[in-house]
Amino acid sequence: MLSGLALAWSLFRFHLFDTVPGAHSAIFEDLSDGVLVLDAQGRIVDFNPSAERIIGCRAGAAIGRPGMPAWWSAIAT
């Protein structure tokens, strides 16, 4: 119980998991390879600047749109 309280306190007091956005920009945004992040329905959730150059589309215009062709979902399942 004491360790649970200490963990809860550190989460809220010291923002234990707030380093993720910094790591996201440091790693994901600076990759030279294009990366698309898709949700369970195959819609684009996020992609890095390298993927923008490959696809030829800005992230704001593509977020929420289908990220893979319909034939891919038949193969992937």
Residues 18-76: name the CATH superfamily.
PAS domain (3.30.450.20)
What is the per-residue pLDDT for 54? 84
Which among 67, 31, 70 has a CA at the least distance from the CA of 48? 31
Is-contact 44 36, C-beta < 8 A?
A: yes
Domain ranges of the chain: 18-76
H or E, element range at 13: helix 2-13
User: Is the entire prediction scored with pTM above 0.95?
Assistant: no
Chain segment 60-69, per-residue pLDDT in tens: 788 888 877 6
Chain segment 34-55, per-residue pLDDT in tens: 888 888 888 888 888 888 888 8
Residue 46: partners with Cβ closer than 8 Å, 6 or more residues away: 28, 36, 37, 59, 63
